Structure 1
Amino acid sequence: MEASDDAEAEYAAFKQKVKKTVYIDNLSPLATDAVVKTALGQFGNVLNVQFIPNYIGPSNMPAAALVEMENERQAMKIIEETADFPFMISGMPRPVRALPAEMEMFDERPRRPGRTIQCQWLEEKDPDFEVAQEIKYLVKKHATEASHLLKQQLAEEEKLHNKHGETLKANHKKYELIDRVLADGSARKLGNCYNIKLQDN
């Protein structure tokens, strides 16, 4: 009975943890624990950042993480703010997305009390064998399609990143030109030529 009570308490504590945890994706592959904590610290106290490993995709794909906040209210604040306004972390050209965490996202989730799982091999003569084969085929098909879409997404984000970089350089050159014109007196000469009065400040 005591073991059952402990399992119930552990599962209840885990459910509370899930409620105050946010799933964040579209993170830059370069984003670190400290970067995520700093970015989301404005919404409350970040207790833990757990990056979800990518075992099969390319290393430059957008990353995802589970971010545990101090309470459920802080977690909901992140979800609401990122839904209403673009929120960028670590220079990723695509705004991050925040969603409520789900139990299945956690590797260390405890077993639900009273739940049992049964596994068995299916023989070809089993009536469910064809269904299992179809599911296996669909899983492979989905993985191939997801990989193709991911490559397209990365290509689009690379284009957007390059475009942002070009815009930043162009704006920097404009400000440099304005500074030079003001510093060498060209702006005042042009103002006198066209009868435009310029302020000293």
Structure 2
Amino acid sequence: MDAKESYASFLEKVKRTIYIDNMSPAVSDSVVKAAFNQFGNVLSVHFIPNYLEPKNVPRAALVEMENPKQAEEIIAEMEIYPFMISGMPRPVRARPAKLEMFDDRPKNPERRIQCRWINSKDPNFEVAQKIKKLVKTHAAEASFLLTEQLKEEEKLAAQHNETLKANFRKFELIDGVHEDGTTKQLAHYYNMHISDS
């Protein structure tokens, strides 16, 4: 396959891929596949590295579907209805994927890139220094927020687990009352009719 055909094939892949973000750091590859397989056939899931945070916990992914129509339908559906993954208290957002999001993208045969060093006397050098300081500040803030967010999600997951256990115990209690005949005795006492279903 020559460079042009390879690039054309890559462009087709981009059309059938959606970009999802606002995910919980606890979400895994299999969880994303299970969530999106209900819309169509998921071909691959690629988590995007988060270079702005020191822990590199992915919060976004590229989900490649079988065809562009499935990808469009998912994006349209998620614009209307909030979509939760793993019961996390945050709706995942979906958008069409863009070329720049793929770290394995082939070189565009029609594009030429030139790089140059910035001299310390260049006016852009000062701008680059400010950006460098801003990135360090952002990394520290993002690290703190991530730590707090993970604590909050662990707390919510524990609460969710406790609620499920409590509800399960209630259903077991109700089943026990029904099986030991207490329900029939109470119905007879209060002159009520009980359906066997």
**TM score, norm. by length of structure 1:** 0.80
Contact 1:11 1:110 in 2 (8 A): yes
User: What residue in structure 2 maps to residue 158 of structure 1?
Assistant: 154
1:43-92 Cα distance to aligned partner (Å, 9 max, x none): 22322222334575547x56432121121111112222233334344554
Which consecutive unaligned segments of at least 5 residues does structure 1 have?
1-5
Q: Distance in 1 between matches of 2:177 and 2:83?
A: 36
Offset of 1:37 from its aligned partner? 3.3
Q: Match for residue 142 of structure 1?
A: 138
Q: Separation in 1 of the partners of 2:71 and 2:59?
A: 19
> Which runs of no fewer than 5 residues in structure 2 stay unpaired?
none
Change (3 A) 1:100 1:46: same
Q: Structure 2 CA distance, aligned partners of 1:91 and 1:79?
A: 19
Pick one of 26, 31, 44 that aligns with 2:28: 31
Q: Distance in 1 between matches of 2:43 and 2:196?
A: 51
Name the amino acid aligned to 1:135: I
Deviations 1:152-199 (A, max 9, x none): 322222222122111111110110110111111222222233333322
Aligned ranges 1:126-137 → 2 under 5 Å: 126-137=122-133
Tell me the distance in 2 between the aligned counterparts of 1:47 and 1:92. 24
Aligned residues: 194
Q: Over aligned residue pairs, what C-alpha RMSD do you find?
A: 2.7
Which has the larger displacement, 48-57 or 167-176?
A: 48-57
- Look up the equivalent residue of 1:124 and give its one-letter code: S
- Partner of 1:36: helix, strand, or coil? helix
Aligned equivalents of 1:54, 1:180: Cα separation in 2? 51
Q: Distance in 2 between matches of 1:13 and 1:24?
A: 22
Q: How does 1:68-147 map to 2 (within 5 A)?
A: 68-90=64-86, 92-147=88-143
Q: Which residue of 1 aligns with 2:173?
A: 177
Q: Which of 63, 72, 76 is the aligned partner of 1:67? A: 63
TM-score, normalization by structure 2:
0.81
Structure 1 residue 23, shift from structure 2 partner: 1.7
Partners of 1:123 and 1:91 lie apart in 2 by 51
- Percent same amino acid among aligned pairs? 59
| Partner amino acid, structure 1, of 2:137 | K
Map of 1:12 onto structure 2: 8
Per the alignment, in what secondary structure is the counterpart of residue 43 of structure 1?
A: coil
Distance 1:128 1:64 in 2: 31
